Amino acid sequence: MTTCPAGHPSGTTDYCDVCGTPIEPAPAAVPVVPPVVARAEGPCPECGAAATGRFCEDCGYAFPSGPAPAAVAPEPRPGPVAAPAWTAVVTADRAYHETVTSDIAFPPYCPDREFALTGATVRIGRRTASRGVPEIDLAGPPEDSGVSHLHAVLLAGPDDTWALVDPGSTNGTFLNDGTDPVAVNTEHPVRAGDRIHLGAWTTITLRKD
């Protein structure tokens, strides 16, 4: 038996058979939705296995239900440690000039110059229009005319090392306190603190910061 909106019992379900009032169908039942269980994220805290569901497949650990925890950003890894920087310090060396038989006068004023050693090859010499500008340009002023346009070359080696090569300079290249020039077209290992003498008064000291 159906009851109409006016409260009359009715044998029909569309209109009340007493007063004729339309009878609306009963509202459909709202289905109950079960709570959503957050899927576990990250490794199992018990055994470290990867989480793939509500329970750990390896040890059976029950992951907590509820909202998934906020993802934690990984800590940034420290970058690679930069290798110590190499520099070449160019000076006017009076002591070296006194050992050289030359008509080139020692300069009255010549401030020190520093050049960073970068790349695989560092050329030492004086710039020209045809050869360009070497990495260590000794054109001055003041200019040591005893330095060839391409006088020497520093070659980068493995493990942050360097080697000196004289490709055939006019007046030779001297290393530290040596009285004989280094052999031409031969690599000579150099270290921080070594002094390269060339021209009439130029000394290049290698430094590693």
Nearest to 123 by CA among 144, 152, 146: 152
Q: Nearest 5 degrees, angle CA 138-CA 139-CA 144? A: 75
Tell me the one-letter amino acid at 142. Answer: P
Q: Do residues 86 and 162 lie in contact, with contact meaning Cβ atoms separated by under 8 Å?
A: yes
CATH of the domain at 188: 2.60.200.20
Q: What is the pLDDT of residue 50?
A: 75
Nearest to 169 by CA among 152, 157, 186: 152
Range of the domain at 136: 86-208
Specify the number of domains making up the chain: 1
- pLDDT of 62 above 80: no
At 131, is the pLDDT very low, low, confident or very high (cuts 50, 70, 90)? confident
- Give the tens place of pLDDT for each residue, 42-53: 777 777 777 766
- Residue 32 counted as domain residue: no
Whole-angstrom Cα distance, residue 60 to residue 46? 9
At 189, is the pLDDT very low, low, confident or very high (cuts 50, 70, 90)? very high
- Residue 51 counted as domain residue: no
Q: What is the pLDDT of residue 27?
A: 62
Whole-model pTM: value is: 0.61
Rounded to the nearest 10°, the torsion over CA 117, 122, 125, 131 is -130
- Give the tens place of pLDDT for each residue, 134-143: 999 999 789 9
Q: What is the pLDDT of residue 145?
A: 93
